Copies of this chain bind each other. A is one copy, B any other.
């Protein structure tokens, strides 16, 4: 976001909020420009097209979530196994603050066509998370780090969806409890 002009920053912030809150397809460039207090011309001068703005939005959110997660996990001292559980703490916090409409990357994958570059950003985000979890699992010396990481990712996704659809309360807590069981079982001894 540093290489952007002030108006560009304002556009990206506004677009991020609107895309997430109302959905990507439901928000027009007109609305973004207006709400950002900026001309459509400026928006197009900075981002070129709505598609590029979408990609910028997803990338920005990806970066924010990654740094939030890593910071949260690193700030959580204790045995490595607990770091995996800490990812649910990060998810819980994230969910409460800016995740009322579920995971932005899942949503983007639903809204965007197969060949849209934004979908690659979404897939990368998930691949990164899976690899990150596997790293934590390896540190924790569990039997099958890759397998556990996959299971934990499923729990993350499920909690996120169940939460945003209001299928139940405390979805993240429940997912974390399941993860705790899995970790306990896969620890040697």
Contacts and interface: CB of A to CB of B under 8 A. Distances in A.
A94 to B, nearest CB: 17
Given A157-B158, A158-B154, A165 B23 contact: no
Contact of A159 (B122, B158, B175, B178): B158
Given A154-B159, A157-B158, A165 B106 contact: yes
A167 B110 contact: no
A165 B109 contact: yes
A150 interface: yes
Contact of A111 (B110, B127, B178): B110
A37 interface: no
A180 to B, nearest CB: 11
B162 A157 contact: yes
A41 to B, nearest CB: 27
Interface in A55-87: none
Contacts of A26: 25, 113
Interface of A: 22-23, 25-26, 101-102, 106-107, 109-111, 113, 122-123, 126-127, 130, 147, 150-151, 153-159, 161-162, 164-168, 171, 174-175, 177-178, 181-182, 185
5 contacts: A109-B165, A150-B171, A151-B178, A153-B168, A155-B178
